[in-house]
């Protein structure tokens, strides 16, 4: 048994190229995504159609153009060219200042500003409209200095768990989960399918080693590897991205280990149902990748999805682990706060193991 | 006699490791030429260079009158190759494999069909016709691989340890196939580590640590080394070189 | 030509013979398209709110009633200290806590300003931002009413009004945006993974040597390897487009011929990418990890899930090598905005040049001898 595990370790660690891939990929991805992903928009290209062209409208235009959200791509003279520039995809929004803008504003009638947004990307469109609205409100308030004498409700806003609304707080737990799960599931499913395909599995099966021991031998090195990856990612997320560790690190690592074991069990299960490396890979990558990204709450909040999808999301192990990671890291949750999610992951692990053993035994008795 | 393979001062290095150290030999047309050596002696490396799968570091290599540096594609028209690794497609049937390789060599459909029938009768594969290659016994697979390597009627056939892992009876049958082709005037270049098979060759070379340690007909070699069989010569040479190294 | 025919025949037999592959290649993308297209929405329909009302006055109750009347907010509690909600916010049961101070009513009646605390669960920053904005709107309206009542005129009227018009997608329907995007992701993954595994698989089982001693030409080999997967990916894409039209009623404003033509080039690009990976690796395992590495990056940075404009400059530069970003951009322009050939010529040029480059690289890297 011991010799067998050592053989597995040697096979994995001796292959430098694979080692570079196994450790390099997670690190490269967490660095890239941690820095690159952002839910906010900066530097969106817009056009302004200023029909008023007086001091106020120009000041308003300047205020828009000088905000970090927008880059004034061009001043246009008529509505004619708008559709064409949208179609080229360069401009995301057009702001139209009406001719009577200043006059109406001075008379206290209220001026309307039309904003045409390219809603082929609805998210970008609504964010841009909101930014424009905020700038307009700001502009208006700077014109109304007299408000100080009336009773105003002044909101004091505190964003709990994420004071400065950093997107990275949301992305890091998600990326952490996806990398751990997919890499672990992929590695095991492929390496077991490989032994099956090359026929070396049969040699192992006729040896006095028990099937359970074979699987253990295959899986243990990957548990260690993934655990190292998990630790590295957490260290990076603390030092590089300033993620808080409000909860217990031991608890987080233990949960991480549990999740790794779950992913490996899933990988074993995939390998027992697939007939070649190719199918194992397609199942563990193609079938898991997008659902893990989209149905786990990594990017899109599950609460906003249709009810049926909220049900489906319950069978995604990644959903539960993301909750655990966020709760422990950001909210400082203790074990009693996340025991339910933990139990679900344990049950999933057992489910995959039992199913794999069943499948495995059936195959043995067929031969 | 016509020369089928001519090798002059062939050297192949992988980094600092010298796999083939200054090889020189010629193979005549119609000869069964044996390439003997322990695992790692450099047999496969040399065969790959002769087949155009690998480029030599230096030296001259001519196969079927073509130069291995610049005309490797021309060489490929004229040779058949059966590798150490099993090289038919597991998930195709016997017929599909024959059809595929025949097609790749540009043979006509009619000819491929005719060849297929010929092989099936010759190798007694009737009962296996519909099976996938992965379900065939190893001996049959090897015999089939040999036939497939021979489908385009090449003038030279390279066989890289074709009989490893095969039972003695099948090995005997395999050599019958080889002789049948040799009688048709084909040159056979075969590597093996079974010393008894060396006796079947017209001439043999024994490779030790990348060098040619001996070259000649089996009988001449036995006489020169005063040995009863090739195996003795091989052990002597392999050990002799080793003691020099120490 | 005949050589290519035999190669193709062999590849197709191998693909269609593998009983597990067919559903993965043809059924799974469709299921994923149907399910996953519904996942993407940033729209927030509901927020759970709790109050700490220290004022216990008519004004504070009116304010709470305003929130109650809003379809967006569900009131989950009313307590005397923020601490009492710590647990619920931790569990995600409450999104926002609003604390109304003791002197809320007296200040307002006496013309003094008053401070109201809003505490949002900001684990999801952008959602927190949005929910807080809704709450502020209600606060603002409430404030305005009080002032109008007290002074007899609306001193806070928002004088600049933003009237948004959403072109190409007036209802801000996320599916219009997501369906073409997810379709692109699915066909890209299928294409890249299938082609990425193929050549290296022949290396691993050893058949590649047998092919290499034949007089087969490099280009014949590459075509024989690419074409079957190209057909599969195109079939998936066309089927996906039909579903997009029939099930999701996604508009296809531009020319279908243009979409298919560029898709044909794009698929060559993706397949050549996979093939290139296949030629530089020794085992299927390595090939798959590298393909996975690149395509996860391509997918997540494609702009489908997070806005490209939000990325730092260097990340946008990295995106120059992101084929998925190009094609999603192209699809959106043509399908949703009706862009014509001239509008998207730059995108087409980039995709074509990229495809030729990758194809060239994989032909160079594929060596019949080492």
Q: Is the pLDDT of residue A367 over 50?
A: no
Fold annotation for C47-151: abc type-2 transporter like fold (3.40.1710)
- Please tell me the predicted confidence (pLDDT) of residue A79: 84
Hey, are the CB atoms on A278 and C201 less than 8 Å from each other?
yes
The residue assigned the tokens 């043995």 is A364
- Cα angle C134-C136-C140, degrees, rounded to a multiple of 5: 120
* A278, C201 contact by CB (below 8 A): yes
Is residue B151 within 8 A of residue B101, CB to CB? The reply is: yes
Same domain, A118 and A195: no
Identify all chain A residues contacting C339, using CB atoms and an 8 Å cutoff: 87-89
Calculate how close chain C gets to B168, using CA atoms only, in Å.
25
- Distance, in Å, from the CA atom of B38 to the CA atom of C281, rounded to the nearest integer, reads 29
- Gap from B149 CA to chain C (nearest CA, Å): 8
Higher pLDDT, residue A13 or A256: A256
d(Cα C127, Cα A301) in Å, to the nearest integer? 8
Q: What value does the mean pLDDT of chain A take?
A: 85
Which among A340-354, C13-27, C201-215 has the top mean pLDDT?
A: A340-354
Confidence band of C327 (pLDDT split at 50, 70, 90): very high
Question: ipTM score of the complex?
Answer: 0.83
User: Across residues C231-247, what is the average pLDDT?
Assistant: 94
Could you tell me if residue A15 is inside a domain?
no
Interface of B with C (CB under 8 A): 51-55, 72-73, 76-77, 79-81, 83, 85-92, 96, 99-106, 149
A265 belongs to a structural domain:
yes
Q: How many other C-beta atoms are found inside a 10 Å radius of the C-beta of residue B183?
A: 9
Neighbours of C30 (CB within 10 A): 14
Which residues are registered as beta bridge partners of C99?
Answer: C52, C117
* Residues A185 and A86 occupy one common structural domain: no
Closest CA to A195 of A362, A1, A12, A3: A12
pLDDT at C31: 92
The reported pLDDT for the residue numbered B1 is 62
Higher pLDDT, A197 or B61: B61
**pLDDT above 60 for C158:** no
More confident residue, A344 or C332: A344
CB-based contact (8 Å) between A303 and chain C? yes
Query: Alpha-carbon distance A95 to A105, whole Å?
Result: 17
Burial letters for A157-180: b for 16+ Cβ neighbours within 10 Å, e otherwise?
bebbbbeebbbbbbbbbbbbbbbb
How far is the C-alpha of C65 from the C-alpha of C212, rounded, in Å? 79
What are the 10-residue block averages of pLDDT along chain B, 246 residues in total?
A: 88 89 92 88 89 88 89 87 82 90 89 92 86 86 89 92 85 90 92 86 90 90 87 81 42
Q: Is residue A3 one of the residues assigned to a domain?
A: no
Q: Based on the fold, state whether residues A176 and A295 are members of the same structural domain.
A: yes
Within its chain, how far is the Cα of C99 from the centroid?
A: 37
A202, two tokens: 């049969």
The whole-number pLDDT of residue A148 equals 55
Instruction: Check residues A174 and B242 and name the one with the higher pLDDT.
Output: A174
Which residues 226-265 in chain A show a CB within 8 A of chain C? Answer: none
A160, A176, A210 - which closes a domain:
A160
Residues ≥6 apart with Cβ < 8 Å to A41: A69, A124, A127, A128, A131, C307, C309, C310
Looking at residue B243, its pLDDT comes to 41
Whether A28 maps to a domain, the answer reads: no
User: What Cα–Cα distance (Å) separates residue B54 from each residue in B12, C64, C360?
Assistant: 9, 82, 22
Question: Measured between alpha carbons, how far is C270 from C274 in angstroms, rounded to an integer?
Answer: 6
CA nearest to C346 within chain A: A88
Q: Are C301 and C318 in contact (CB under 8 A)?
A: yes
Q: Are C243 and C33 in contact (CB under 8 A)?
A: yes
Which pLDDT score is estimated for C367? 76
Question: pLDDT (tens digit, 9 = 90+) per residue, C80-114?
Answer: 888 889 888 888 889 999 999 999 988 888 888 88
- The answer to whether the CB atoms of C215 and B101 lie below 8 A apart is no
Does A276 sit within 8 Å of C310, measured CB to CB?
Answer: no
The last residue of one of the domains, among A119, A143, A160, is: A160
Q: Is B169 exposed, middle or buried (0-12, 13-18, 19+ CB in 10 A)?
A: exposed
DSSP single-letter state for residue C332:
I
My answer on whether A336 and A239 are in the same domain is: yes
Calculate mean pLDDT across residues A118-122.
Answer: 86
Contact C293 A283 (CB under 8 A): no
How much is the pTM?
0.85
Q: Is residue A116 part of a domain?
A: yes
Do A244 and A287 belong together in one domain?
yes
**Residue C91 and residue C66: Cα distance in Å, rounded?**
26
Q: Are residues A122 and A180 in the same domain?
A: no
Residue C260's pLDDT is: 95
* β-bridge partners, A113: C162
Full domain range(s) for residue A151: 44-160
- Decide if pLDDT at C6 tops 50: yes
Give C219 to chain A, closest Cα distance, Å: 25
Q: Is residue A311 part of a domain?
A: yes
State whether A199 and A68 are in the same domain.
no
pLDDT band for position A287 (cuts 50, 70, 90)? confident
In terms of phi and psi (left: phi > 0; alpha: psi -120 to 50; beta: otherwise), the region of C226 is alpha
pLDDT confidence tier of residue A16, bands split at 50, 70 and 90: confident
DSSP B135: G
Distance CA C237, CA C229 (A): 12
Per-residue pLDDT at C20 exceeds 90: no
Closest CA to C307 of C98, C42, C55: C42
pLDDT band of residue A28 (cuts 50, 70, 90) is confident
Alpha helices by DSSP H, listed for B123-199, are: 138-149, 168-183, 195-198
Residue B242: predicted pLDDT: 44
Q: Within this chain, do residues A76 and A185 fall inside the same structural domain, yes or no?
A: no
CA distance B207 to chain C (A): 23
The set of chains that have 3 or more CB pairs under 8 A with A is C
Torsion of CA A189, A190, A196, A202, to 10 degrees: -70
> Residue A194: what pLDDT?
81
Residue A51 to residue C77: CA distance in whole angstroms: 50
Question: Looking at the domain assignment, is residue A130 inside a domain?
Answer: yes
Count, residues in chain A: 367
Overall average pLDDT of the A4-20 stretch: 74
Q: How many helices (H) and strands (E) does chain B have?
A: 9, 10
Regarding predicted confidence, which is higher, C252 or B246?
Answer: C252
Q: Would you say residue A29 lies in a domain? A: no
Using alpha carbons, select from B47, B81, A89 the residue that is nearest to residue C345.
A89
CB contact under 8 A, C292 and A285: yes
Strands B187-192 and B156-160, bridge-based pairing = parallel
Strand arrangement, sheet containing A153-160: A153-160, C114-121, C96-100, C47-53, C73-79
By the 8 A CB rule, do C278 and A11 touch? no
Confidence bin at C276 (pLDDT 50/70/90)? very high
- Comparing CB atoms, the residue among C206, C214, C370 nearest residue B104 is C214
- Specify whether A295 is located in the same domain as A348: yes
Flag whether pLDDT at A146 surpasses 70. Answer: no
Confidence of residue A6 (pLDDT cuts 50, 70, 90): confident
pLDDT of residue C350 exceeding 60, the answer is yes
Closest CB to C162 among A129, A178, A279: A129
| CATH number of the domain where residue A133 is located | 3.40.1710.10
Q: Say if residues A43 and A91 touch (Cβ distance below 8 Å).
A: no
Closest CA of chain C from A15, distance in Å: 10
Question: Which domain-ending residue is among A102, A136, A160?
Answer: A160
Number of independent structural domains in chain A: 2
Q: How far apart are CA C274 and CA C192, in angstroms?
A: 5
Three-class DSSP labels, chain A: CHHHHHHHHHHHHHCHHHHHHHHHHHHHHHHHHHHHCCCCCCCEEEEEEECCCCHHHHHHHHHHHHCCCEEEEEECCCHHHHHHHHHHCCCCEEEEECCCHHHHHHCCCCEEEEEEEECCCHHHHHHHHHHHHHHHHHHHHHHCHHHHHCCCEEEEEEEECCCCCCCHHHHHHHHHHHHHHHHHHHHHHHHHHHHHHHCHHHHHHHCCCCHHHHHHHHHHHHHHHHHHHHHHHHHHHHHCCCCCCCCCHHHHHHHHHHHHHHHHHHHHHHHHHCCCHHHHHHHHHHHHHHHHHHCCCCCCCHHHCCHHHHHHHCCCHHHHHHHHHHHHHHHCCCHHHHHHHHHHHHHHHHHHHHHHHHHHHHHHHHC
Inspect the interface and report whether the beta carbons of C214 and B105 lie closer than 8 Å: yes
Confidence label for C16 from pLDDT (cuts 50, 70 and 90)? confident
Domain boundaries along the sequence of chain C? 2-40+173-365, 47-151
């Amino acid at each position: 048994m011991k010799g067998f595990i050592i053989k597995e370790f040697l096979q994995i660690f001796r292959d430098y190229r694979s080692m570079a891939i196994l450790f390099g990929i997670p690190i490269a991805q967490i660095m890239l995504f941690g820095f690159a992903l952002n839910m906010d928009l900066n530097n969106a290209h817009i056009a302004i159609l200023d029909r008023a062209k007086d001091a106020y409208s120009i000041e308003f235009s300047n205020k828009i153009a000088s905000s970090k959200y927008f880059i004034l791509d061009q001043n246009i003279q008529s509505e004619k060219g708008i559709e064409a520039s949208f179609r080229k995809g360069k401009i995301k929004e057009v702001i139209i200042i009406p001719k009577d803008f200043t006059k109406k504003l001075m008379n206290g009638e209220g001026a309307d500003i039309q904003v045409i947004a390219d809603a082929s990307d609805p998210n970008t469109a609504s964010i841009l409209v909101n930014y424009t609205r905020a700038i307009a409100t700001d502009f208006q308030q700077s014109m109304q200095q007299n408000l100080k004498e009336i009773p105003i409700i002044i909101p004091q806003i505190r964003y709990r768990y994420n004071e400065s609304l950093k997107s990275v707080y949301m992305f890091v737990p998600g990326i952490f989960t996806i990398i751990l799960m997919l890499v672990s599931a992929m590695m095991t499913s492929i390496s077991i399918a490989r032994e099956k395909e090359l026929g070396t599995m049969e040699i192992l099966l006729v040896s006095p080693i028990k099937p359970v021991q074979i699987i253990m031998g295959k899986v243990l090195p990957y548990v260690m590897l993934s655990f190292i990856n998990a630790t590295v990612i957490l260290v990076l997320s603390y030092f590089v991205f300033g993620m808080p560790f409000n909860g217990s690190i031991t608890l987080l690592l233990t949960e991480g280990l549990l999740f790794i074991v779950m992913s490996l069990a899933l990988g074993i299960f995939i390998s027992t149902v697939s007939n070649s490396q190719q199918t194992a890979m397609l199942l563990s990558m193609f079938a898991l990748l997008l659902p893990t990204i989209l149905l786990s709450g990594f990017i899109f909040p599950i609460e906003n999805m249709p009810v049926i999808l909220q049900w489906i999301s319950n069978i995604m192990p990644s959903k539960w682990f993301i909750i655990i990671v966020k709760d422990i890291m950001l909210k400082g949750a203790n074990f009693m706060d996340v025991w339910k999610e933990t139990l679900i992951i344990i049950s999933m692990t057992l489910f995959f193991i039992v199913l794999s053993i069943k499948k495995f035994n059936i195959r043995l008795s067929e031969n | 006699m016509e020369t089928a393979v001519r090798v002059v001062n062939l050297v192949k290095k992988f980094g600092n490791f010298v796999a083939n150290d200054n090889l020189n030999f010629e193979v005549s047309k119609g000869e069964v030429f044996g390439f003997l050596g322990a695992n790692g002696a450099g047999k496969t490396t040399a065969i790959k260079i002769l087949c155009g799968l690998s480029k030599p570091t230096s030296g001259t290599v001519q196969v079927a009158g073509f130069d291995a540096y610049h005309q490797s594609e021309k060489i490929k028209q004229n040779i058949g190759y059966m590798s150490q690794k099993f090289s038919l497609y597991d998930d195709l049937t016997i017929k599909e494999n024959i059809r595929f390789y025949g097609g790749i060599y540009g043979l006509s459909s009619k000819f491929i069909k005719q060849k297929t029938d010929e092989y099936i009768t010759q190798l007694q594969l009737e009962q296996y016709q519909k099976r996938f290659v992965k379900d065939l016994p190893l001996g049959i697979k090897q015999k089939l691989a040999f036939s497939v390597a021979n489908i385009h009627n090449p003038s030279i056939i390279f066989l890289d340890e074709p009989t490893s892992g095969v039972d003695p009876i099948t090995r005997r049958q395999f050599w019958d196939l080889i002789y049948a082709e040799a009688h048709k005037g084909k040159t056979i270049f075969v590597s093996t580590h079974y010393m008894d098979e060396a006796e079947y060759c017209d001439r043999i070379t024994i490779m030790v640590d990348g060098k040619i340690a001996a070259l000649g007909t089996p009988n001449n070699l036995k006489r020169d080394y005063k040995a009863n069989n090739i195996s003795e010569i091989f052990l002597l040479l392999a050990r002799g070189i080793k003691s020099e190294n120490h | 030509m005949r050589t290519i025919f035999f190669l193709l025949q062999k590849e197709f037999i191998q693909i269609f013979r593998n009983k597990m592959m067919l559903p993965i290649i043809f059924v799974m993308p469709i299921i994923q398209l149907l399910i996953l297209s519904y996942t993407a929405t940033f729209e927030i329909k509901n927020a759970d709110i709790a109050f700490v009302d220290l004022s216990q006055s008519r004004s504070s109750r009116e304010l709470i009633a305003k929130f109650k009347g809003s379809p967006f907010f569900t009131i989950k509690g009313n307590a005397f200290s923020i601490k009492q909600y710590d647990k619920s916010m931790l569990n995600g049961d409450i999104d926002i806590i609003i604390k109304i101070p003791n002197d809320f009513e007296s200040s307002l009646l006496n013309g003094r300003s008053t401070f109201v605390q809003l505490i949002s669960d900001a684990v999801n920053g952008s959602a927190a931002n949005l929910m807080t904005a809704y709450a502020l709107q209600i606060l603002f309206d409430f404030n305005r009413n009080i002032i109008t009542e007290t002074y007899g005129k609306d001193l806070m009227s928002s004088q600049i009004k933003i009237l948004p018009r959403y072109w190409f997608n007036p209802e801000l329907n996320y599916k219009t945006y997501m369906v073409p995007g997810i379709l692109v992701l699915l066909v890209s993954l299928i294409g890249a993974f299938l082609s990425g595994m193929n050549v290296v698989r022949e290396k691993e089982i050893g058949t590649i040597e047998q092919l290499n001693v034949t007089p087969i030409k490099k280009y014949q080999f590459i075509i024989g390897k690419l074409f079957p997967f190209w057909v599969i990916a195109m079939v998936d894409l066309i089927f996906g487009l039909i579903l997009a039209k029939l099930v999701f009623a996604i508009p296809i404003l531009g020319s279908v011929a243009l979409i298919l033509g560029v898709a044909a080039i794009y698929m060559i690009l993706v397949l050549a990418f996979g093939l290139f990976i296949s030629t530089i690796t020794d085992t299927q395992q390595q090939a798959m990890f590298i393909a996975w590495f690149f395509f996860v990056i391509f997918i997540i940075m494609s702009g489908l899930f997070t806005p490209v404009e939000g990325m730092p400059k260097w990340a946008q530069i990295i995106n120059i090598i992101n084929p998925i970003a190009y094609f999603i951009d192209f699809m959106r322009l043509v399908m949703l905005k009706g862009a014509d050939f001239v509008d998207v010529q730059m995108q087409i040029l980039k995709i074509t040049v990229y495809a030729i480059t990758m194809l060239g690289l994989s032909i160079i890297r594929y060596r019949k001898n080492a």
